[in-house]
A and B are shown apart, each in its own frame.
Chain A
Amino acid sequence: MSSALIMKRKIRKAKGAMDIDITSLMDILVILLVFLLKSYNPSDLFVDITKDINLPPSHSIDLGEHSVIIKIDREKRIFVDRTEIVESVNLVELLKSKKGELDKYKDLYKKAKDTYIINLVMDEGTEYKELKKVMDLATEAGFNQFKFIVKSKV
């Protein structure tokens, strides 16, 4: 081995660990942090919005909360959470069982049991008669509050 190469190695050893400039990484992280903070949602409601549902815009700024979700899509198909409903009788039965699940959730998080909420996620083209039918059946199953899920107008 040449003496020049040995010398180079000795110098590198003497220098110690290499310093990485993390300023640019910090910049990216701060930008990412600001963006995520802006899109942060403190609500415990999570809604899967499919392409068959176009939510109407609204000025409302009230945040939703976790509960049973009923979806009505463009084809007038009704879903409770992710289960498609074929007959009205099934909807009432399913909602009654969901109410039981909701009770367990409320016990776990020590929430009041006087209100049973249905989150309604509907396509903007849905007619009121569809909505009314669902609301009537949900009332029959013991739910007493309806929340219409809308998208922000801004």
Chain B
Amino acid sequence: MRTLRMKKKMEKLNLIPIMDAVFIFIFYLLMSAQFIDIYEINSDVAKLSTEDQVKKDKIPLNLTVKIYSDKIEILTGVPSRLYKDFKRDATGTYPVEALNLTLLSLKTSHPDEKTAIVIPQESVKYKDLVPVLDNIRNTMENNKPKALFSSISFGEF
């Protein structure tokens, strides 16, 4: 019996339809492939609130981040008062980790707040602005981004 089975020629799978599907899939993926990973940072044009009335029992955070060429200032409240400032270090980078930790504590005390107004000085470079925006928008929690003040508007000095 066993010898009979062994003698039977093994049937081959018909791979042609699979191959066709795979080829079509490859062309589709080739067309939509992007070999540089590009993403976006969102920002709105500053606009007046259209809500009827801001809840009066809560004091608005009014978070403002001023970016100077040598330091970053965090201002809160109405009228704005200096909450904390961070000097640029000797290597020329802004202490974004410390900024992130401060914003995290502000977010913990004001969980409903989502907006931050960013006011950079005219001489601030885009490459310095992006890490600051990153750290205002998100914090890393277990290697996953967690939203802090994700709605960013630009203001003027």
Q: A29-B22, A64-B38 are in contact. Are A36 and B33 (CB under 8 A)?
A: yes
Whether, in the assembled complex, A18 has its beta carbon less than 8 Å from a beta carbon of chain B, the answer is no
Residues of A within 8 A of B122 (CB): 127-129, 132
Per DSSP, are chain B's interface residues mostly helix, strand or loop, or mixed? mixed
Looking at the complex, which one of B19, B30, B36, B39 makes contact with A58 (CB distance below 8 Å)? B39
Chain B nearest CB, measured from A84 CB (Å): 20
Whether, in the assembled complex, B15 has its beta carbon less than 8 Å from a beta carbon of chain A, the answer is yes
Per DSSP, are chain A's interface residues mostly helix, strand or loop, or mixed? mixed
Residues of B within 8 A of A46 (CB): 34
- Interface residue count for B (Cβ, 8 Å)? 42
* Contact bitstring A30-50, B, C-beta under 8 A = 1, else 0: 101100110111110111010
CB of A127 within 8 A of CB of B126, answer: yes
A125-B127, A128-B120, A129-B123 are known contacts; what are 17 more A-B pairs with Cβ within 8 Å? A19-B12, A29-B19, A39-B35, A40-B33, A58-B39, A58-B41, A58-B133, A60-B134, A61-B39, A63-B40, A123-B126, A124-B126, A124-B130, A128-B125, A146-B44, A148-B133, A152-B38
Q: Show the binding face of B for A, using Cβ within 8 Å.
A: 12, 15, 19, 22-23, 25-26, 29-30, 32-45, 47, 120-127, 129-131, 133-134, 137-138, 140, 145, 154
